[in-house]
Amino acid sequence: MLVPHQELPATAAAVAADAAQPMEVVAQTEPANAAESQPPEDPQTSRFTWTIENFTRINGKKHYSEPFVVGGFKWRVLIFPKGNNVDHFSMYLDVADSVNLPYGWNRYAQFSLAVVNQIHPKYTIRKDTQHQFNARESDWGFTSFMPLSDLYDPSRGYLVNDTVVVEAEVAVRRMVDYWTYDSKKETGYVGLKNQGATCYMNSLLQTLYHIPYFRKAVYHMPTTENDMPSGSIPLALQSLFYKLQYSDNSVATKELTKSFGWDTYDSFMQHDVQELNRLDVKGCRDVYASFDKYVEVERLEGDNKYHAEQYGLQINDRYEFPLQLDLDRDDGKYLAPDADRSIRNLYTLHRYKFDDERVTKEDTKKALEEQYGGEEELPQINPGFNNTPFKFTKYSNAYMLVYIRESDKDKIMCNVDEKDIAEHLRIRLKKEQEEKEHKKKEKAEAHLYTIIKVARDEDLNERIGKKIYFDLVNHEKVRSFCIRKQLPFTSFKEEVAKECGIPVQFQRFWLWAKRQNHTYRPNRPLGPHEESQSVGQLREVSNKAHNAELKLFLEVETGVDLRPIRPPEKSKEDILLFFKLYNPEKEELWLFVKATGKPSEILTKLNEMAGFAPNEEIELYEEIKFEPNVMCEHIDKKLTFRSSQLEDGDIICFQKSPVSDGETQVRYPDVPSFLEYVHNRQVVHFRSLEKPKEDDFCLELSKLHTYDDVVERVARQLGLDDPSKIRLTSHNCYSQQPKPQPIRYRGVEHLLDMLVHYNQTSDILYYEVLDIPLPELQCLKTLKVAFHHATKDEVELSNPDAELRLLEVFYHKIYKIFPPHEKIENINDQYWTLRAEEIPEEEKNLGPHDRLIHVYHFMKDPNQNQIQNFGDPFLLVIREGETAAEILERIQKKLRVPDEEFSKWKLAFISMNRPEYLQDVDVRRDVYGAWEQYLGLEHTDTTPKRSYTANQNRHTFEKPVKIYN
Q: Which residue did the predictor score with more confidence, 197 or 14?
A: 197
> Is there a shared CATH topology between the 678-779 domain and the 781-961 domain?
yes
**Under 8 Å CB-to-CB from 734, ≥6 apart: which residues?**
757
- Give me the phi and psi of 82, to 5 degrees please: -105, 15
Q: Is the pLDDT of residue 450 over 50?
A: yes
Give dist(CA 745, CA 887) in Å, integer.
Answer: 53
Q: What does the pLDDT read at residue 925?
A: 52
In sequence order, what E strands does 681-740 have?
A: 681-688, 697-702, 726-729, 731-732, 737-738
Q: Is the pLDDT of residue 308 over 60?
A: no
> Residue 589: beta bridge partners?
582
Q: What does the pLDDT read at residue 857?
A: 92
Torsion of CA 760, 763, 764, 768, to 10 degrees: 120
**What band does 269 get if pLDDT is binned at 50, 70 and 90?**
very low
CA atoms within 13 A on the CB side of 312: 4
Q: Which CATH architecture has domain 45-172?
A: Sandwich (2.60)
From the list 580, 690, 671, 585, the residue with the least C-alpha distance to 630 is 671
CATH number attached to the domain at 781-961:
3.10.20.90
How far is CA 846 from each of CA 55, 117, 420, 875, 879, rounded to the nearest angstrom?
74, 67, 83, 13, 9
**What band does 836 get if pLDDT is binned at 50, 70 and 90?**
confident
Q: Which residue did the predictor score with more confidence, 319 or 824?
A: 824
**What band does 426 get if pLDDT is binned at 50, 70 and 90?**
confident
Burial of 625 (0-12, 13-18, 19+ CB in 10 A): middle
Q: What does the pLDDT read at residue 590?
A: 56
Q: Which CATH architecture has domain 184-291+314-380+393-421?
A: Alpha-Beta Complex (3.90)
Q: Is the pLDDT of residue 726 over 90?
A: yes
**Which segment, 504-518, 712-726, 796-810, is predicted with the most confidence on average?**
712-726
451-477 in b/e burial notation, b at 16+ Cβ within 10 A?
ebbbbbeebbebbbbeeebbbbbebee
Cis amide prior to 915 (ω within 30 degrees): no
Q: What does the pLDDT read at residue 436?
A: 82
Per DSSP, the three-state class of 546 is: coil
From the list 771, 773, 772, 767, the residue with the least C-alpha distance to 754 is 767
**What band does 196 get if pLDDT is binned at 50, 70 and 90?**
low
Q: Is the dihedral of CA 612, 615, 617, 620 positive or negative?
A: positive
Q: What does the pLDDT read at residue 729?
A: 94
Sketch the domain layout of the chain as residue ranges. 45-172, 184-291+314-380+393-421, 452-659+667-674, 678-779, 781-961
Give dist(CA 783, CA 315) in Å, integer.
Answer: 47
- The whole-number average pLDDT for the span 137-152 is 88
- The third-level CATH classification (topology) of the domain covering 452-659+667-674 is Ubiquitin-like (UB roll) (3.10.20)
672-691 in b/e burial notation, b at 16+ Cβ within 10 A?
bebbbbbbbebebbbbeeee
Q: Is the pLDDT of residue 325 over 60?
A: yes
List, edge to edge, every strand of the sheet that includes 813-817.
785-788, 833-838, 804-810, 813-817
**Domain 678-779 part of CATH 3.10.20.90:** yes
Q: Which residue did the predictor score with more confidence, 602 or 373?
A: 602
How many contiguous H segments (helices) and E segments (strands) does the chain have? 25, 47
Q: Which residue did the predictor score with more confidence, 406 or 103?
A: 406
Output the pTM of the full model: 0.46
Q: Is the pLDDT of residue 614 over 80?
A: yes
Q: DSSP letter string over 111-173? A: EEEEE--SS-GGG-EEEEEEEEEESSS-EEEEEEEEEHHHHT-GGGSSSBTTBEEEEEEEEEE
**Under 8 Å CB-to-CB from 232, ≥6 apart: which residues?**
223, 259, 964, 965
Give dist(CA 329, CA 322) in Å, integer.
Answer: 14
Q: Which residue did the predictor score with more confidence, 170 or 15?
A: 170
Give dist(CA 160, CA 156) in Å, integer.
Answer: 9
